[in-house]
Amino acid sequence: MKKPFLSIIIPAFNEASRLPETLRKINAYLTAQDYSSEIIVVENGSSDGTYQIANDMQSEICCLTVLHEDRRGKGWAVRQGMFKARGDYRFICDADLSMPIEEIAKFMPPLELSAPIAIGSREALGAVRYDEPQYRHLIGRAFNWLVRILLIHELNDTQCGFKLFREDTVNAIFPLLTITGWTFDVEALFIAQKLGFKIVEIPIHWHHHPHSTVKVFRDSFRMGTDLLKIRFNDLRGKYHAEA
């Protein structure tokens, strides 16, 4: 198969109910574009048949690849998907499509002339959040405050599940990742800044879905300690390009 222009990578954990509709919407959108594309679903640890359901959809969606990984975590899944992908541009996309897929156009070239990494932001000027419970918003802001103090001073939302990386940035950044869970985004963006890749925040419309795979209290604690791990890794020189 010809090298695609765009790869969409979808991490999926217990997504049997949301994934089929998401894949159909993304496929309909991509089919209408004039560039070539592929979709990669990466499942790990699901107990609801997500892998089988995604696999079965390959008969309906020809550009779909489905991977299963034994190792757990969103970060691990995204990393494996990024390596499997072959697109000139690689877009991480949550399975709940809390950002309508049409908004991907905002991330695409010619934007890369100014920045090779474009991240969806619920905080940038013009962004809108729909139906998000107040406590989730507050926890997100507290986490961003920690991120800004400890690691990345400039970015207002590192945790949105929609991000575009140009191929060369994937090859430089993703082999250096050590975090396999939710905080992989922070680590990837921290490394990106260290390597001198410019990052732009794209304001998006974001629709909160009540079903979430986040366990707020357990995961928040883990995400806090992950930030310290990233800082410590950096002190030990783990993020040099030649590491």
Ligand X SMILES: Nc1nc2c(ncn2[C@@H]2O[C@H](COP(=O)(O)OP(=O)(O)O)[C@@H](O)[C@H]2O)c(=O)[nH]1
Contact residues for ligand X, defined by CB under 6 A: 11-13, 15, 42-45, 72-74, 77, 94-96, 98, 161, 212-214
Nearer to ligand X, 96 or 157 (CB): 96
Q: Rank residues 39 and 176 by Cβ distance to Mg ion and give the closer one.
A: 39
Residues in contact with Mg ion by CB under 5 A are 94, 96, 98
With respect to ligand X, which residue has the nearer C-beta, 89 or 143?
143
User: Which of 171, 167, 4, 199 has its CA nearest to residue 89?
Assistant: 167
Q: Which two tokens stand for residue 238?
A: 């783990």
* Nearer CB in complex with ligand X: 115/179: 179
Handedness of CA 210, 182, 159, 174 (dihedral sign): negative
* Minimum gap (Å) between residue 188 Cβ and ligand X: 14
The CB-of-184 to ligand X minimum distance in angstroms stands at: 10
In contact, 206 and 131? CB cutoff 8 Å: no
Whether 91 and 6 have beta carbons less than 8 Å apart is answered as yes
> C-beta of 214: minimal distance to ligand X in Å?
4
Cα 191 to Cα 195: distance, rounded to the nearest angstrom: 6
Instruction: Tell the smallest beta-carbon distance from residue 143 to Mg ion (Å).
Output: 15
Cβ of residue 13: shortest distance to ligand X, in angstroms?
3
Q: How far is the CB of 165 from ligand X (least distance, A)?
A: 17
**Residue 64 near residue 77, CB atoms below 8 Å:** no
Q: Which does 73 bind (CB under 5 to 8 A by kind): ligand X, Mg ion, none?
A: ligand X
Give the residue with the Cβ less far from ligand X, 37 or 44: 44
Rounded CA separation 73/12 (Å): 10
Residue with the two structure tokens 């300690």: 225
Q: How far is the CB of 64 from Mg ion (least distance, A)?
A: 21
- Given the complex with Mg ion, which of 69 and 96 has the nearer CB atom? 96
Instruction: Give the total residue count for the chain.
Output: 243
Rg over CA atoms, the chain: 17
Compare residues 80 and 239 and give the one whose CB is closer to ligand X.
80
Q: Could you give the CA distance from residue 128 to residue 207 in angstroms, rounded to a whole number? A: 8
What are residue 121's DSSP bridge partners? 203
The number of C-alpha atoms within 13 Å of 156 and in the hemisphere containing its C-beta is 13
Given ligand X, Mg ion, none, residue 87, with its beta carbon under 5 to 8 Å by kind, binds none
Nearest residue to 5 (alpha-carbon basis) of 40, 32, 38: 38
